[in-house]
Structure 1
Amino acid sequence: MTSELPAASRTFLTDAATRKFLTDPHTATFTTLRPDGTPHVTPVRFTFDTAAGLARVTTRAGARKARNVAAGGPAARIALCQADGFRWVTLEGLATVTDDPARLAKAVRRYTDRYRAAPPAPPDLVVIEIAVDRVLTLPRGLPSAASRAE
């Protein structure tokens, strides 16, 4: 699963400060839609593979976020928002859930590299892969949310 980012989003990801921010060990909010259409927001740790355009979140297959993504089918859109003070980056895209051993291994390795510890390993571990197609953030040096790319 790969995605082609729009030019505005690619611009943010070529910024060294944004790339570094996405590798620092922060927590993010993960937003999905419940079957009734209401938002479900939960804190997660994630990784972002700039080259592949993929964000990855490991979780239990039975977790609400995984069930929401699975219920959304191929049109399941999610948003991840990592914030630290006034600095923030939101990654949006289509998500899928998989228990493929190779994809799980890659997700666990990248998580361990980013957070310096392995993620929890429940027996029903899955990875949610998000094909990022939009990146929102404040351009460096601009304090106003009105200046973000959309």
Structure 2
Amino acid sequence: MAHDPRALDDAFLAFWQERHISTLSTRRPDGSPHVVPVGVTFEPETGIARVISSRTSRKVRNVLDAGAAGQRVAVCQVDRARWSTLEGVAVVRDEPAAVAEAERRYAERYREPRVNPDRVVIEITVDRVLGRA
């Protein structure tokens, strides 16, 4: 079921605040899918989903390989019959303020992230929301 990303109901928003592991789907340079478990945060006011990662990870390299325009990706979480997919264009940001904001949001939803001097953030501008929460 599709939802308007700018008009999500309270139950749907609550689902994206609960502690759930998600998957991030990116495309490898050969076009094949790369799907990995991640922690993701979603800021409905701006439509931004964030995934923290090491700059050397395959998921980060996949997004960087797409160029400055970014790569279309999806993050998905499932809890029994409840599920949701956020789709949009991802870019990698390494500015200290962007990384710090992503770490702060990750700590709110999951736990304080371990120290990682190579950390970057994959920022997804969400333009499509699917699911049933």
TM range (shorter): over 0.9
TM-score by length of 2: 0.93
Aligned-CA RMSD value: 1.5
Structure having the higher strand fraction is 2
| Larger relative contact order, structure 1 or 2 (CA cutoff 8 Å, min sep 6) | 2
Q: Which runs of 5+ in 2 are unaligned?
A: none
Q: How far does the alpha carbon of each residue in 1:4-62 deviate from its partner, in whole angstroms, 9 at most, with x for none?
A: xx973334x2x111000000010101000000000000000010011010000000000
Q: Give aligned-pair identity as a percent.
A: 50
Aligned residues: 131
Equivalent residue, structure 2, for 1:38: 32
Q: Which runs of 5+ in 1 are unaligned?
A: 1-5, 141-150
Q: Secondary structure at the match of 1:19?
A: helix
Bigger radius of gyration among the two: 1
Match of 1:93, as an amino acid?
G
Runs of 4+ in 1 over 4 A off after TM superposition: none
Q: Are 1:9 and 1:136, in contact at CA under 8 Å, matched by a contact in 2?
A: no
TM-score by length of 1: 0.83
Q: How far does the alpha carbon of each residue in 1:38-91 deviate from its partner, in whole angstroms, 9 at most, with x for none?
A: 000000001001101000000000000000000112140100001111100100
Structure having the higher helix fraction is 1
